[in-house]
Amino acid sequence: MGILDFLSGEFIDVIEWTDDSRDTTVWRFEREGHEIKYGAKLTVREGQAAVFVHEGQLADVFTPGLYMLETNNMPILTTLQHWDHGFKSPFKSEIYFVNTTRFTDLKWGTKNPIMCRDPEFGPVRLRAFGTYTVKVTDPARFLVEIVGTDGEFTMDEISYQIRNIIVQEFSRTIASSGIPVLDMAANTRELGKLVATELSAKVAEYGLTTPEFYIENISLPPAVEQALDKRTSMGLVGDLGKFTQFSAAEAMAKGGEAGAGMGAGLGMGMGMAMANQMAQAGPWGAAPAQSAIAPPPPPVEHVWHIAQGGETKGPFSKADMGKMAADGSLTRETYVWTPGQDGWMHADDVAELAQLFTILPPPPPPGA
């Protein structure tokens, strides 16, 4: 066996890469000593690109196809190698295969809330999350800017940096969009396009593009969401009739018969409240005039019965009792009784009648 036959059989002459990992972006073709045979076959499949690095310097980029590694196919590499050998000499270069397909269903989200100024609620804090896709568009730039000499580079190694860029561009875009918080859910597509445009311009510096960007949700802090729920409830209570029907139906659904009774009671209470409001408002909805202070009720006039000689006489009014006290038919020892009194009592022991015996008549007129 001659020396040329030995060299021809020593080195592999087929260079290719098949990947089933679904997350590898760059893979370096491993060869001991990085020795590649002149005239070897290079297979670059669809969704791939092959980058040649010779002696630390990027030499060539091969798109999908089948290549014979010869002088006419590698003008740049030939210039760097200075072919001056009369036999098929191996050369030492590194070949990096770059995955140019789309990497889909990549997640992004805001780690901390984004401060925005809303025209209706003032300063608010927003959180958002979604998905995006990324694709290598410039294999040479991607290799130089990101990969370096990494023999196997995965999307996980750069996704964190891309997420940081997404959050930065999303924060800046949503803060300057001027879209009210309550309208953001209806404008997620437009916001996504704005963010994707800004994002693609930024990641292009790394040889990448983001062909798809989706905003799945934009949420408010729990306190703000509770305030919005209360505001919605207030809007519903604005129609008392509908609110009563809603509350009764909800109670019935939750508690069966007990809920029905509670709902009926709630409806009666709301109806009475509405009736009181209408009565107070007057026939034309005007506020009622302030009524005068009512006088206290007149005192109750008692009637009296007296017991004399084993007989009960009466009833007598207080005026009658006064006349009887004046003519002597009613004395301090006479037993008297009035409704509500606890048994018979002496007239002198009843405060209302005792005064009849202490009032002295005026002096008689002159000449009487």
Q: Answer yes or no: do 174 and 200 share one domain.
A: yes
Q: Are residues 109 and 53 in the same domain?
A: no
- Contact criterion met (CB below 8 Å) for 29 and 13: no
Last-in-domain residue among 99, 125, 151: 99
State yes or no: cis peptide before 315, omega within 30 of 0.
yes
Give the integer Cα–Cα distance in Å for 340 and 353.
15
Write the CB contacts of 213 (distance below 8 Å, at least 6 apart in sequence). 130, 132, 133, 166, 192, 193, 195, 196, 199
- Contact between 215 and 130 under an 8 Å Cβ cutoff? The reply is yes
Give the gyration radius of the chain's Cα atoms: 52
**Rounded (10°) CA dihedral 127, 136, 145, 44:** 150
Q: What whole-number distance in Å separates Cα of residue 48 and Cα of residue 46?
A: 5
Q: How far is it, in rounded angstroms, from Cα 145 to Cα 26?
A: 13
pLDDT reported for residue 261: 53
Q: Is residue 51 a contact partner of residue 139, using CB atoms and an 8 Å limit?
A: yes
Question: Is the same domain home to 160 and 212?
Answer: yes
Torsion sign across C-alpha atoms 351, 353, 357, 360: positive
Whether residue 217 sits in one domain with residue 112: yes
What pTM was computed for the model? 0.54
> Which among 89, 26, 86 has a CA at the least distance from the CA of 53?
26
Please give the pLDDT value at position 9: 44
30 & 78 share domain: yes
State how far the Cα of 300 lies from the Cα of 341, in Å rounded to an integer. 14
Domain boundaries, position 258: 238-275
pLDDT tens profile 269-289: 555 655 565 555 555 545 445
Residue 283 domain-assigned? Answer: no
Query: 83-105, pLDDT tens digit by residue?
Result: 444 335 556 678 899 999 999 98
Query: Are both 30 and 94 inside the same structural domain?
Result: yes
Structural domain includes residue 107: yes
Q: Encoding tokens for residue 182? A: 């309550």
In tens digits, the chain (368 residues) has pLDDT values of 444 444 444 445 788 888 878 888 999 887 665 567 767 788 899 999 999 887 778 888 899 998 887 755 554 454 445 444 433 555 667 889 999 999 998 999 988 888 888 887 788 888 899 999 999 999 999 988 888 878 888 888 888 888 988 888 888 888 887 788 878 878 888 888 888 888 888 899 999 998 888 988 888 878 777 777 777 776 655 565 666 677 777 777 766 555 555 555 555 555 565 556 555 555 554 544 555 677 777 766 788 888 888 788 888 888 888 888 888 888 888 898 888 788 888 888 888 888 787 765 666 677 65
Give the total number of structural domains in the chain: 4
- The letter for the amino acid at 222 is P
Rounded to whole angstroms, the Cα distance separating 123 from 126 reads 10
**Does residue 13 sit in the same domain as residue 122?**
no
* Same domain (yes/no): 161, 263: no
| Residue-level pLDDT at 135 | 92
In a domain, 297, yes or no: no
Rounded CA-CA distance 92/95 in Å is: 10
Please say which residue of 156, 190, 221 terminates a domain: 221
Q: Are residues 107 and 176 in the same domain?
A: yes
- Tell me the three state secondary structure of residue 341: coil
The verdict on 320 and 348 lying in the same domain is yes
What would the two tokens of residue 311 be?
């007989």
